[in-house]
Chain A
Amino acid sequence: MANKPMLPELMKTHGVSRRAFMKYCASLTSLMALSPALVPRVAHALETAMRPSVIWLSFQECTGCTESITRSHAPTLEDLIFNSVSLDYHHTLQAASGHAAEAAREQAMKDNYGKYLLIVDGSIPLDNPGYSCIAGISNLDMLKETAAGAAAIVAIGTCAAYGGIPHANPNPTGAVSVSDIIKDKPIINVPGCPPIPVVMTGVLAHFLTFGIPDLDELGRPKAFYGESIHDRCYRRPFYDKGKFAETFDDEGARAGWCLYKLGCKGPTTHSACATVKWNNGVSFPIEAGHPCLGCTEPDFWDNGGFYNPLSVPAGDYRKMGVAAVVGGAAVGVASALLSKAGKAKAVQNHETVDAHDLEKSS
């Protein structure tokens, strides 16, 4: 790492002006929800930091997270790769393949042992190591081996952070998250299916400048996952007024009313979608007319149906209701008949008492 050029030299070779660099630092600072007063500190940290080696491992995933991060606009992935990090292994983005690629990973691990940043996307299958292998090495072995020398781990995407779609019921591969396996390294979870591009790059930039950000109890950086979609949603006033779209093409849907009744999981989902938005800040799913699926939350795939409102029971409760009516009626009839029989028996066994007897007994 010592022989790698520092940022100022790189900027010179890439023709980046000081002004452009400061603009980049300002956008990073605001993304990380830090005070504008910290822009010089971000700039200083980036200028003086050694570009850490980054190893990106992809396990049971769909490459959606990589697709997403390549669309980051501030900072761009190119910015990150060329200016801030040295991406030494990423089997989708790198030119090398097969043994040459594995050799690059092993070399980076050897050169930067204890200092490199490990990024993981995808879940890890525990049922059978053969479910997912890279160059004949199981995901579990590769994760354990690579995590051992990492300074920190960033679990990108809901699969790496919480198990995600492979972990969904009935979880045929026995998929688990990174934090289910690695217990002795700091882990930053950046969930989402996929995560917002600038959130991924923003978290990496925060790690490079100020270290590990403040995390919530699910390991997510509070700067990006501190608030619920519902609280920051521009359709929230319609929820408060009781105005809801009932179908995807009714008057309410066209008027942009709340999508709660169409299954929106915004109230229980923490993400920056409603504020940072997607595609360079163009819009986000709810703005495009689709309810939030809750993809930044563990087990979002098993949350009772994407198009069922949160308040609707998740089970097959109608059958239970019918069974209860039948069962209740049967027991009720039995109990009433028993009571009637008891009453008839009591009448039969009734002993007549006259005033004389009562006087005797008192």
Chain B
Amino acid sequence: MNNPAFDLLMWARGPGFDIALIIFIGGIVLRLTEIIILGRKKDMAPAKGNGFLQGLKTIFSRSVPRKGLVKFAPVTYLGGYIFHLGFFIAFFFFAPHIALIQDAFGISWPAAGRVIIESVTALAVLAVLALTYSRLTDPVRKSLTTFDDYLVLLLSVLPLITGYVAVNKLFGDPTMMLAVHLLSVEALMIAFPFTKLMHAVSFVFARYYNGSIQGRKGAES
């Protein structure tokens, strides 16, 4: 006699994770190799500033919001920050996730308590809902939104929701919900290299290129 929920969990922890990992890591490395090898056209003009330092600075400075953004696009500004911070805290400070990182890389750090993890998870889910709503109602954003954007929003929010449900046993068999949570993360991993989710890695290169181009011209960025 088998427990289908347990079998699904073991598949998600075993072959499912392996498949997702190969596509995730392989896809990221593939795209990064392409980006690095293709590089940029050599700038023949004499440099007016230090492109390298300006590039490095821009990697970080672009994380600080522009002045006036909160008035111009409050939902994007607040929702964006809340979602990203919430997702990072839930991912990096929930004990079971730290256990996974520890197993893979041998490093660990103290876990956050349940109140913090669940609060930031709930806020991150609300932020995604707000961001989706603004995409659906604002005519300009709506026309700019593609299927890819909706897919990315869905794939990012599903692990948060399924994780919350699994930990709190809100509904369904807890073993099954844990399996569903892992599968939702695996779906995110598989889509990652081939959608806008890749920005989580490629932002470093994009910002460096932008910053160094401007820096070489002697401009701030």
Does A356 touch B at the CB level, under 8 Å? no
Report the minimum CB–CB distance from B208 to chain A (whole Å): 18
A residues neighboring B (CB under 8 Å): 161-163, 177, 179-180, 189, 218-219, 228, 231, 239-244, 246, 258, 260-261, 267-268, 297-299, 302-304, 308-315, 317-318, 320-321, 323-325, 327-329, 331-333, 335-337, 339-340
A328-B26, A332-B37 given. 13 additional CB < 8 A pairs? A161-B1, A177-B1, A242-B110, A243-B111, A268-B9, A297-B6, A311-B96, A315-B18, A317-B104, A320-B22, A325-B29, A333-B33, A335-B30
- Taking a contact as CB atoms under 8 Å apart, the answer to whether B7 and A299 are in contact is yes
Contact with A along B150-180 (1 / 0, CB 8 A): 0000000000000000000100001100100
Is the CB–CB distance between B21 and A321 below 8 Å?
A: yes
Across chains A and B, the number of contacting residue pairs, with CB separation under 8 Å, is: 152
Q: Give 4 closest A-B pairs by Cβ, nearest first.
A: A332-B33, A328-B29, A242-B111, A311-B96
- Among A246, A267, A323, point to the contact of B22 (Cβ < 8 A): A323
Please tell me if the beta carbons of B1 and A329 are within 8 angstroms of each other in the complex.
no
B136 interface residue per 8 A CB criterion: no
Q: Which residue of B lies closest to A327 (CB)?
A: B26
CB-CB under 8 A from B29, the residues of chain A are 324-325, 328-329, 332
Question: In the complex, what residues of A have CB within 8 A of residue B9's CB?
Answer: 268
User: Residue-by-residue, is B59-101 near A (CB-CB < 8 Å gives 1, otherwise 0)?
Assistant: 0000000000000000000000000000000000101110110
Complex A-B: 18 CB contacts under 8 Å: A177-B1, A242-B93, A268-B174, A268-B178, A303-B10, A309-B99, A311-B99, A312-B13, A313-B14, A313-B18, A314-B10, A315-B13, A315-B14, A315-B15, A321-B104, A324-B26, A339-B34, A340-B37
- Judged by a CB distance under 8 angstroms, whether B38 is at the interface is yes
Count of chain B residues near A, Cβ 8 A:
48
Cα A117 to Cα B149 with chains together (Å):
61
Q: How many angstroms from the CA of A303 to the CA of B5 in the assembled complex?
A: 12
Kindly state the separation between the CA atoms of A219 and B38 in the bound complex, as whole angstroms. 61
Q: A312, B100: Cβ atoms under 8 Å?
A: yes
Distance in Å from the Cβ of B108 to the closest Cβ of chain A? 8
Q: Give the docked Cα–Cα distance between A318 and B13 (Å).
A: 13
Residue contact A240 to B37, C-beta cutoff 8 Å: no
Interface residue? B113 (CB, 8 A): yes
Alpha-carbon distance A336/B27, docked complex (angstroms): 14
Residue of B whose beta carbon sits closest to that of A322: B25
Please give, as numbers and ranges, the residues of chain A lying within 8 Å of B47 by CB-CB distance.
Answer: none
- A22 CB to closest chain B CB (Å) equals 38
Closest to A332 in B: B33
